[in-house]
Chain A
Amino acid sequence: MRRRSFLIVAACTVGVANLPARARAQTKPTVTVFAAASLREAFEAAGPAFTKASGFPVSFDFGGSDTLATQILQGAPADVFASANTAQMQRVTAMVRVPKTLARNRLVVIAPAGDPVVASVADLGKSGTKVVLAAASVPVGAYARTAFGTLERDPAYGSGFAARVAANVVSEETDVKAVVTKVALGEADAGVVYTTDVTPAVASKLRVLRFPAGAAPEAVYPIAVVSAAPNPAGAAAFVDFITSPAGLGYLKARGFEE
């Protein structure tokens, strides 16, 4: 009995010790990319092409940019950070190299396809409308709140519009994809997401309403190599690839702008 458990422990130890060595022998080290949740579809599509071009396997960690920034500040072993706004990139300024602008995105209001409550952006402030936003620390949550503040200056919406919308918020989600899911499930009457989040997978469940011209801020995505990247060569290769015409093609195909 004792002998057998010793063997199991020994086998586990040998197995674990062997793993990285074997991985190293076969391929280059993996690049770990922390990216805003809204970049999921574009980055996942670009991943295999990047690996093919550079030889670096890539693994993605998608989440709210605020969560990812906090994790980097706490020493998470990220090689690259792509944020959905400059504010979250600025939080990690001391820990990343100079960021490049990756892409731009637009805000839209989404509503469940069969839910008639919200017919226009103004209806977000109508009493009884159930609105789901990302938390204010999440970039899309911050952009949405800025947009409501801008709309207040338009007499059609009126002063107090932002406060009326805020009073209608029933949940503050942790990233933009959670907002999409809650609206697609019909749990809320409307939410604010990026135009790129209305993917073919959910498009049939959603109606899309556009903000009036000039009301919504343009979302800007900075991308940077993390200074303490465990894989600096892979990190630089990923940033070079994704900001090249070939890499940007994957973003544009999903509605991002240069």
Chain B
Amino acid sequence: MIRAAVAAAAALLILFIVVPLVALCVHVAPDRIVHAVTTPMGRDALRLSLTTTACSLALTLALGTPLAYVLARSTVPGRSVLDAIIDLPIVVPPAVAGLALLFAFGHFGVAGPLLDALHLRIAFTTTAVVLAQLFVGAPFYVRAARAGFVSVSRTLEEASETLGMGPLRTFARITVPLAFPVLAGGAMLAWARALGEFGATIMFAGNLQGVTQTLPLAVYLGLQSGDLELSASLAIVLVAIALAVAGGVRVLERRAS
């Protein structure tokens, strides 16, 4: 009885996830997908999504790796506060993130006078897209990377250092390779979150083809303007990318365990 209920609940949720995704694919013929992706709007959105997520991933790795290592190794007081701050963008709704970014980096925002003095305008630029992605995506990487670094035994790092390797070389040759599957898994999740970013982007970066209109925005605007074929085609592209990411994370996790 209980077993049947568990199986039914599980099947229900799986179906609930699979049916809408399949329905999406039934909506458009494969050759129309290719056509949609080669329209100017589709092509621009795909190119913009790939370039901006590459930038936000690079920033995530460059800024997130040192932070994750500090969080994993240091015993400074207030570390739990840092942990909580890192978790915030994951729990905060994207619309809130968009509003917060606008109030921070917008024309009348907290950093507005400074940015004005430097003749920088961020809202409505591709930079704003990257910042929104960094804000929502980076925490996923930092969390994973911290766990990965914690799993690397401190004794191995110490042994390496006593054998004459400096801390940087130890980090690059011992710590990173040992934690690699976890780091890569975290990076993939962060990238996928950045790719799917919608709410903060449309509020903070606006919507302009080729400049700030990423794939999720194009999906939304296609639907809004009645171009369902374009909307569904780009959505399918996003699902395909998501499948690849989910598969990649699985492979890395298996290698890690």
Contacts and interface: CB of A to CB of B under 8 A. Distances in A.
Given A130-B124, A186-B107, A188-B124, A173 B224 contact: no
Given A171-B212, A172-B208, A174-B207, A187 B223 contact: no
Interface residues of B, number: 22
A66 B225 contact: yes
B108 A186 contact: yes
Contact of B224 (A132, A135, A170, A185): A135
A64 interface: yes
A185 B207 contact: no
A66 B206 contact: no
Given A66-B224, A91-B226, A135-B224, A185 B102 contact: yes
Contacts of B121: 130
B237 interface: no
Contacts of A182: 206
Given A135-B207, A185-B108, A174 B224 contact: yes
A182 B108 CA distance: 11
Contact of A70 (B107, B108, B223): B223
B124 A187 contact: yes
Interface string A149-173: 0000000000000000000011111
Interface residues of A, number: 23
B106 A137 contact: no
Contact of B208 (A64, A171, A186): A171
A109 interface: no
Interface string A124-162: 000000101001110000000000000000000000000
B221 interface: yes
A2 to B, nearest CB: 9
A182 B202 CA distance: 11
Nearest to A141: B225
A135 B107 CA distance: 22
Contact of A173 (B207, B220, B225): B207
B1 to A, nearest CB: 10
B123 interface: yes
Contacts of B206: 132, 170-173, 182, 187
Contacts of A67: 224
Contact of A64 (B107, B212, B224): B224
Interface string B106-140: 11100000000000010110000000000000000
A174 B203 CA distance: 11
A73 interface: yes
A69 interface: yes
A127 B124 CA distance: 17
A154 B220 CA distance: 37
Contacts of B207: 135, 171-174
A137 B106 CA distance: 27
A182 B223 CA distance: 23
Interface string A77-105: 00000000000000100000000000000
Contact of A169 (B108, B208, B225, B228): B208
Contacts of A185: 102, 106-108
Contact of B226 (A137, A171, A187): A137
A172 B212 CA distance: 10
Interface string B19-34: 0000000000000000
B221 A135 contact: yes
Interface string B199-221: 00010011111011000000011
B108 A66 contact: no
B112 to A, nearest CB: 8
Nearest to B202: A174
A70 B224 contact: yes
A135 B202 CA distance: 13
B121 to A, nearest CB: 8
Contacts of A173: 206-207
A139 to B, nearest CB: 12
A134 to B, nearest CB: 10
Closest 5 CB pairs of A and B: A171-B206, A137-B225, A186-B107, A170-B124, A67-B224
Interface of A: 64, 66-67, 69-70, 73, 91, 130, 132, 135-137, 169-174, 182, 185-188
7 contacts: A70-B223, A130-B121, A132-B124, A171-B124, A185-B102, A185-B107, A187-B102
